[in-house]
Amino acid sequence: MSAAIACSLCNTANAQLSSNPDKFLGNITTSWNNDMDTDGFIFSDYWNQVTPENATKWGSVEGTRGKYNWGGADKAFNYAKEHGLLFKFHTFAWGSQFPNWLRNLTPEERYEAIVEWMDAAKEHFPELPIIDVVNEAVSGHQNDTPLIKEALGGDGKTGYDWIIKAFEMAHERWPDAILIYNDFNTFQWNTDEFIDLVKTIRDAGAPIDAYGCQSHDMLSYDGKNVAPTFKSSMDKMHQELMMPMYSTEYDVGTEDDELQLKAYKEQIPYMWEADYCAGITLWGWIYGSTWTTDGNSGLIKNKVERPALTWLREYMQTDAAKNAKSPFPGMVKEASVYVKPAAIGVESGKVLPITVNASLKTKTIDHIDLFVNDELIGTLTNAPYEAEYTPTAEGKYDIKALVTATDGTQFERLSGFKVYPARMPYNGEKEIPGIIEAEDFDSGAELFSFHDSDNKNEGDIKDYRKDAGGVDFVKGNGGCAIGYTATGEWLEYTINVKEAGIYSYEATVSCGSPDGSAFSIDVIKDNDVVNLCKVNVTQTDNNQWSTYKVMSGEFKVPLEAGKQIIRITIDKPYVNLDKFELKLEGTGIQSVKGDGLSDDQLFYNLYGMKVDKNFKGIIIKNGQKVLNK
């Protein structure tokens, strides 16, 4: 938000319901317009912030690839600029209302399309004050979220790497914008999942500035009473996250004027007067023109204000409403402060590098005090702001960065990490060539040596391991197997490769789904992740997972000798994993020169990976030089 727009907002605020200079009371476009001229009601007479209901969604802008229709977005943006209103862009990454042509692209092509979409928005809107970056990503909220997730890198080690990537992309383009994660019905549904998502990406260093609580669920499930969990859920989210909050899509859909009024009177002041609430956006205001049943969340019906709107006008003139504090004075972001530990999980006794990415828009940083569990571990005075910490005990650790500007103003950011017991191979070291039993993944902890989508073992073997979180163990193929797999879950195994070379795999698996399933195998060494293969599993039995078969193939890059980590990642759900046998195929090693390159250089060009210091030359398989194509 430019200084000119901010000043204009201050000069015109008295014309709107809210005169608080630090937090907004906004609304959305109605049928792609702001003013309802036919009814004589003017948007800017009521609201001081505007969100396009649909006009800035990807599907509305780029229905045909490469052709951008910014007409509706420009109408809202220009209206906001002319009337001194705050404009919010809604939304970049969402598993709904994206262009239909995206479905026909590969993950790599989808990623390029997302980059092009954000670049086009940056070119058209060089400056944006506030953005809903990712929308409704909690598992199950949108069926097509995997299309976006897969394109942006999947769950990864945090469980939410793709969301972190989206925020990094947005911050790179709009560093001064307030960046929001937005999700629906968090006051009644999936509150814990929402908290986990936001806290995880915050702790991992994502440039997220606030969380947005869509507020469409403000009545009880029967629609006859005010939502009973609203206040407790809002309190819980604040206590767990300690970040700025927005009520992003508030509405109370009912024909009962008194029930709507009761909800407004109980809920609006509780949000508005919270000093961590930066603003409220109502989701429509003209009866019959909102998304709820018959548009019954509207506040103006038959050209008459409903009681909830009359009360809202009166409340906004109270001292409590006028003087309510905001985490963003002037409705703008002064500080960008993000704490990024090298990992959100670390072994006890291992050094953990911590970076504070910090900048101030109009002020100058004097120093940054960095705390771990309230203990000052360093005062940082020069960028890059970096420190190290070595935890000595297992458990959860809190990080706090306190940024002090030269004028004494302070800004705070929280983060955190977990400390785990040392990673250990389960049931002994796995020597390769050899067999890896799927259930014998490394000892450790969730998001450290394995990741499961929930913390409950749904399998029929309950007592195989005590350290496996929610990983599901099932009876299969005469023993124990991994079952109930979901997209994004992963398991890691420490292996010791006795001889470098090309390896083949035989994976014993089952799948009862008619759509089949899929998984990937990667190798991790020195923090490099290299894909070895992707395995598509066809149905092994009709809706039964008791029939196992062997899927075989060859790794597309050779394995180096020595200890390293193999990761199995579920790319498509409903595959049972029994075991994996890895066999050495390339047994001959021959020094080969070419184009004046050293053996190491030639090997790297062919395979795209580092060469073990004891391994020189090119692998020869069946008398032929093996190429990575």
Active site residues: 136, 249
| CA dist., res. 476 & res. 473, Å (int) | 9
Candidates 286, 330, 299, 245; CA nearest to 1 is 330
- 404: Cβ–Cβ under 8 A, 6 or more apart, which residues? 365, 366, 367, 368, 369, 410
506 three-state secondary structure: strand
Residue 80 is inside which H or E element, if any? helix 71-83
| CA dist., res. 414 & res. 412, Å (int) | 7
253 exposure class (CB count in 10 Å sphere: 0-12, 13-18, 19+): buried
Please give the span between the terminal C-alpha atoms of the chain, in angstroms, as a whole number: 49
573 within 8 A of 487, measured Cβ to Cβ: yes
- Both tokens of 35, joined, read 């003013």
| CA dist., res. 530 & res. 495, Å (int) | 15
- Total residue length of the chain: 629
| CA dist., res. 283 & res. 290, Å (int) | 7
Partners of residue 414 on adjacent β-strands: 400
Q: What are phi and psi of 141, to 5 degrees?
A: -75, -30
| CA dist., res. 341 & res. 204, Å (int) | 7
| CA dist., res. 134 & res. 209, Å (int) | 12
Residue 542 is inside which H or E element, if any? none
- Both tokens of 310, joined, read 């009359």
Candidates 280, 304, 402, 289; CA nearest to 54 is 289
| CA dist., res. 252 & res. 26, Å (int) | 15
Q: What are phi and psi of 419, to 5 degrees?
A: -115, 125
Partners of residue 50 on adjacent β-strands: 27, 87
CB atoms under 10 Å from CB of 251, counted, come to: 26
**48 residue type, one letter:** N
